């Protein structure tokens, strides 16, 4: 591929979304509930944030949104299929109106020259499967995920070339109680997480194999949350903790997808901690075969992490996101006997306590390339912030422009060091529902006029970053000013 202005010719400039976070129409046209409909209702009741019933109302605004994306010059758009919209019961009878929605959306995108990048599952498991057997608690998910993948391949294979099976498996594993399974019993059972992770690896492998079998020229990957974990100091114990955190949080997932193997040091740790999962005959062979169908890694990058040697006696807990949006307190992850998260004193945090670190993107991209030599696509990256709609309809978001500018520079530097980067799809095309901070935490280039309390008409407005990004795309990343 020829490199023009630092970016390859045909580079996929676009943006990302996920179904439950932007579509709304949660119970419309035959769609049944998914876990996110339920979880976000709970979040609404507990903390007052918006639920998933309307979000950005993309279901009704998609034509207008695609036109705005085309105006920005998008070459790609990452979206996910709302599983319970197309198969309301998870498997079995399809929902014709839900199925048609995605045909119409893909047609609209193609009419504007925009390539869809489709995630099969982005946190929103059909409630039917949760109620039937507890979702990822059961091995039945492996076959049902394959059923869903085959359905998608047959239905949309001629309209979609880029497929991502699962969004952020490592995040699902860490927050499985909240994002994926509504069960207090499993909340306290960390062993369950790694069993579910194993099922996801099997499900991913079956889906990747199915897509390659059914869709000629398809390119298959999965999107992972990728964050380098730096040592808090040069004390050898901290450096070792950083190595362990990178293995545990990044390579354990990448190794399974890309090499088709489980990382030995992580397996040994899980065994020591009594967290080891059951493996049935044929499982490892299936994961290996799945890795042969893995064409590119979707990289979701927001921030880097920082770790130190674990404090003896501290018990295991995941990182807790900042829920107030007022900066400050975060509860860091602890993995006993492995690592403990801590603040990186060299970085400035966002209002939502995410450290801003463009160099971390270059770091992880080069790591992935040197370790696996596989093409990558940025499938998420962005700044969640409060925006103000001015009286004249403008939105001034220089902080977002600066964040994205610095990350694009980091991508350029990574490409210069040999990284095979296919595209940049920052989060998000339009403002949408955050996983933990409602509507007020905005990421879009397109402003959606609604609040957590009042859905209004969800009118669209162009932010300053909209015009800036349009110019970036027009110059293939040359003009970042």
- Out of 136, 162, 424, 427, point to the residue binding ligand BGP (CB under 6 A): 427
Per rule CB under 6 A, is residue 51 in the interface with ligand BGP? no
Piece of 41-49, 61-69, 154-162, 432-440 that binds ligand BGP (CB under 6 A): 432-440
Site for ligand BGP in 208-227 (CB under 6 A): 225
CB of 19 or CB of 99, closer to ligand BGP? 19
The packing angle between helices 464-474 and 398-416, to 10°, is: 20
- Out of 35, 263, 300, 335, point to the residue binding ligand BGP (CB under 6 A): 300
Q: Burial level of 219, CB count in 10 A (0-12/13-18/19+)?
A: buried
Per rule CB under 6 A, is residue 351 in the interface with ligand BGP? no
As measured in angstroms, the least distance from the Cβ of 250 to ligand BGP is 14
Per rule CB under 6 A, is residue 197 in the interface with ligand BGP? no
- Out of 322, 434, 465, 476, point to the residue binding ligand BGP (CB under 6 A): 434
As measured in angstroms, the least distance from the Cβ of 230 to ligand BGP is 20
Per rule CB under 6 A, is residue 350 in the interface with ligand BGP? no
Residue whose C-alpha is closest to residue 214's, from 131, 151, 277, 303 = 151
- Out of 23, 51, 57, 380, point to the residue binding ligand BGP (CB under 6 A): 380
Per rule CB under 6 A, is residue 76 in the interface with ligand BGP? no
> Which residue is catalytic, options 23, 333, 367, 380?
380
Write b or e for each residue in 41-73: b if 16 or more Cβ atoms lie within 10 A of its Cβ, otherwise e.
eebbeeeebbbbbbbbbbbebbeebbebbbebb
As measured in angstroms, the least distance from the Cβ of 298 to ligand BGP is 10
As measured in angstroms, the least distance from the Cβ of 65 to ligand BGP is 17
Residue 168 annotated among the catalytic residues of the structure = yes
As measured in angstroms, the least distance from the Cβ of 429 to ligand BGP is 12
Whether a cis peptide bond, with omega within 30° of 0, leads into 212 is no
Residue whose C-alpha is closest to residue 206's, from 179, 240, 166 = 166
Per rule CB under 6 A, is residue 180 in the interface with ligand BGP? no
Piece of 156-164, 188-196, 308-316, 429-437 that binds ligand BGP (CB under 6 A): 429-437
**Cα-Cα end-to-end distance for the chain:** 26
Piece of 262-270, 396-404, 428-436, 445-453 that binds ligand BGP (CB under 6 A): 428-436
As measured in angstroms, the least distance from the Cβ of 354 to ligand BGP is 8
> Which residue is catalytic, options 33, 115, 146, 168?
168
Residue 380 annotated among the catalytic residues of the structure = yes
CB of 259 or CB of 319, closer to ligand BGP? 319
Bridge pairing between strands 162-167 and 115-121: parallel
CB of 73 or CB of 438, closer to ligand BGP? 438
Per rule CB under 6 A, is residue 82 in the interface with ligand BGP? no
As measured in angstroms, the least distance from the Cβ of 4 to ligand BGP is 30
The packing angle between helices 58-72 and 464-474, to 10°, is: 50
Q: How many other CB atoms sit within 10 Å of the CB of residue 447?
A: 23
Binding pattern for the stretch 303-342 against ligand BGP, x by CB under 6 A and - elsewhere: ----------------------------------------
Number of residues lying near ligand BGP (CB under 6 A): 15
Per rule CB under 6 A, is residue 95 in the interface with ligand BGP? no
Q: How many other CB atoms sit within 10 Å of the CB of residue 345?
A: 8
Site for ligand BGP in 441-470 (CB under 6 A): 441
Residues 6+ apart with CB under 8 A from 340: 241, 307, 308, 309, 310, 311, 314, 332, 333, 334
As measured in angstroms, the least distance from the Cβ of 302 to ligand BGP is 7
Piece of 47-55, 58-66, 166-174, 341-349 that binds ligand BGP (CB under 6 A): 166-174
- Residues making contact with ligand BGP (CB under 6 A): 18, 21, 167-168, 171, 225, 300, 380, 384, 427, 434-437, 441
Q: Which residues are the active-site residues?
A: 168, 380
């Amino acid at each position: 591929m020829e490199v023009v202005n630092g970016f390859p010719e045909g580079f996929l400039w676009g943006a990302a979304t996920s179904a439950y976070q932007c579509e709304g129409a949660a119970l419309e046209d035959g769609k049944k509930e998914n876990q996110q409909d339920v979880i976000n209702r709970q979040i609404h009741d507990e903390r007052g944030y918006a639920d998933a019933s309307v979000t950005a109302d993309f279901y009704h605004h998609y034509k207008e949104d695609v036109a705005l994306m085309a105006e920005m010059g998008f070459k790609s758009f990452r979206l996910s299929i709302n599983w319970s919209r197309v198969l309301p019961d998870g498997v079995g009878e399809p929902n014709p109106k839900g199925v048609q929605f995605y045909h119409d959306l893909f047609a609209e995108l193609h009419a504007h020259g925009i390539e869809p990048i489709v995630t099969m599952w982005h946190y929103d498991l059909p409630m039917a499967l949760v109620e039937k057997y507890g979702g990822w608690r059961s091995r039945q998910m492996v076959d049902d995920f394959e059923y869903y993948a085959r359905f998608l391949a047959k239905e949309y294979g001629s309209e979609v070339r880029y497929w991502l099976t699962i969004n952020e498996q490592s995040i699902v594993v860490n927050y499985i109680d909240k994002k994926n399974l509504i069960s207090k019993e499993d909340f306290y059972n960390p062993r369950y997480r790694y069993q579910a992770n194993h099922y996801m690896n099997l499900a991913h492998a079956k889906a990747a194999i199915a897509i390659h079998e059914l869709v000629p020229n398809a390119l298959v990957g999965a999107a992972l949350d990728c964050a380098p974990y730096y040592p808090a100091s040069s004390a050898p114990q901290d450096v070792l903790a950083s190595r362990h955190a990178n293995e545990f949080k990044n390579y354990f997932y990448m190794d399974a997808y890309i090499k088709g193997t489980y990382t030995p040091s992580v397996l040994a740790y899980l065994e020591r901690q009594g967290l080891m999962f059951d493996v049935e005959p044929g499982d490892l062979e299936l994961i290996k075969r799945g890795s042969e169908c893995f064409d590119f890694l979707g990289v979701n990058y927001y921030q880097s992490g920082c770790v130190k040697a674990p404090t003896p006696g501290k018990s295991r807990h995941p990182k807790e996101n900042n829920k107030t949006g007022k900066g400050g307190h975060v509860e860091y992850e602890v993995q006993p006997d492995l690592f403990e998260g801590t603040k990186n004193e060299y970085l400035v945090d966002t209002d939502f306590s995410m450290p801003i670190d463009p160099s971390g993107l270059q770091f992880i991209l080069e790591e992935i390339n040197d370790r696996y030599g596989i093409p990558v696509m940025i499938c998420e990256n962005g700044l969640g912030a409060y925006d103000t709609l001015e009286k004249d309809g403008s939105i001034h978001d220089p902080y977002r422009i600066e964040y994205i500018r610095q990350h694009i520079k980091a991508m350029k530097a990574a490409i210069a060091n040999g990284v095979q980067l296919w595209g940049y799809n920052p989060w998000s095309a339009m403002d949408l529902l955050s996983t933990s901070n409602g509507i007020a935490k905005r990421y879009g280039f397109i402003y959606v006029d609604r609040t957590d309390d009042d859905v209004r008409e969800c009118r669209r407005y162009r932010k300053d970053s909209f015009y800036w990004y349009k110019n970036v795309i027009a110059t293939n990343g040359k003009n970042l000013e």
